[in-house]
Each structure stands twice: as structure tokens, then as C-alpha cells.
Amino acid sequence: MVKYELIYFNVNARAGAIRLFLDYHQIPFTDTRIPRDQWPEIKKQMKFGQIPVLKILDKNLELPQSVAILRYLATKHGGLGENPEENALIDAFADQTQDTVTAVRPWYRTFVRNGTKEQQQEKFNEIALPTFRDSFVPIFSKQLQENGSGFLVGKKLTWVDFFLADFVDRVGKIFPEDQRKILQPLFGHRDKILSLPNLKKRLEERKNHVF
């Protein structure tokens, strides 16, 4: 029985990690993709005026916000830390990832909005390069090294691993080739997570979307 409906656009972006989590755990769900031209009208129906939204059908509940959705699914189906301290760290690293997503959005948008190569390079040099080189990659690579399990927090897979791997995978597709070495310390974790069982079909589908 399908208990969930995930509503988002026909891209990965904010729903990518959620789809990976659901597929890995073999949780049936309706994957509703909204055409962009229908969004202004549908937006009026959304609790926060944004998506993704997870409809929990047997509870008559609509849950917004990517991190809240992942945390809820992990609570229901597995993927939390072993104790409150691990869960606090998981939340912290998820928030740090989301802070980075927000910080580099002006660079990201030069691709979404078909900016020129010059505009893309300008925003990369101005925003993305220092963010990834000086903050994001050092913080996360240090945590992975010190944790030593191959996972971001604790000794087992948690929901934040999907959140991180999805982001690194998407960013890696548009990172300038001559700067990809900056992301290299995080590619091992990305590959480990995307090599998990039950993801093959989803990964094939992801190839059709840069974002």
C-alpha cells in the first residue's frame, strides 16, 4: 500500500535525497512531478507556499521542508543516529549543508537560468570557490576522516548521508573541470552512498537531470 506522495518539480534539487532515501528503503510512494507552468496555481495550495511536500496519506498530513521530511522518514523507517548526541550532530551537518546550498545559490542559478559561461565562471570565482574550498569541503572531509566509518555520523548509515551525497553529486556535475580536485575528498562518500542497494533505477533517472 502506498502511504506517501512526494510532490516536487521534475528535477532532483530539494527532492533528490528524499527519493534516494525512499528507494533505498524500498518504500512505495507516488512521485508527483509538477510542470513549472502549473506551479503558480499549485503554490497557493501549499502550506508554506513551497515544495517539496510529502503527503502522508494515512495521516491526512502534508509535510514541507526537505530536512523535516528526511528526518520524519528516518524516524518511521530507520536512519536515525544511535543516541541524542548523534542525532544532534546529524541535524548540525544537515543544517551546514543547507547553509552551503543557500550560499552558492547565485552560482547555481547561472546554470538554471542559462547564464553565459562568463557569468557562470564569475559567480563560481566570487561565491562557490571560496565556499567549497575554505568551508564546506574542509568541514565535511575532516568529519568523515575523524568518524572513520565511511558514514558522516556514527557507525551506520543515517539520513544525512543521503542529504550530503545528493548535494555533492549534483554540484559535481557543474563544477569546473579544472577545480574538481577541491571536491575530491567528498567523492568517496558520495560513491559509497550511491552504490547502496535499490538505487540503480533512480541513478539512471538522475542522469537525465543536471540539477
The CATH fold assigned to 84-194 is Glutathione S-transferase Yfyf (Class Pi); Chain A, domain 2 (1.20.1050)
Q: What is the pLDDT of residues 122-132, one digit of tens each?
A: 999 999 999 99
Q: Hey, what's the cell of 176?
A: 569546473
Is the pLDDT at 211 greater than 80? The verdict is no
| pLDDT tier at 112, thresholds 50, 70, 90 | confident
> Beta strands 4-9 and 29-34: pairing type?
parallel
Contacting residues for 148 by C-beta, under 8 A, at least 6 apart:
none
Mean per-residue pLDDT, 86-114: 95
Is the pLDDT at 1 greater than 80? The verdict is no
Is the pLDDT at 199 greater than 90? The verdict is yes
pLDDT value at position 183? 98
Distance CA 91, CA 88 (A): 5
Distance CA 204, CA 139 (A): 30
C-alpha closest to that of 81 among 70, 73, 89, 72: 89
pLDDT value at position 63? 97
Distance CA 28, CA 38 (A): 25
Is the pLDDT at 56 greater than 90? The verdict is yes
pLDDT value at position 188? 98
Q: Which amino acid is at 12?
A: N
C-alpha closest to that of 162 among 151, 154, 171: 151
In sequence order, what DSSP letters do the residues of 34-92 get, joined into one string? E-GGGHHHHHTTSSSS-S-EEEEGGGTEEEESHHHHHHHHHHHHS---SSHHHHHHHHH
Domain positions in the chain: 4-78+197-206, 84-194
The CATH fold assigned to 4-78+197-206 is Glutaredoxin (3.40.30)
3-state SS assignment for residue 4: strand
- This prediction's pTM: 0.96
- The CA R_g of the chain, rounded to the nearest whole Å, is 17
Secondary-structure percent of the chain, ordered helix, strand, coil, rounded to 5: 65, 10, 25
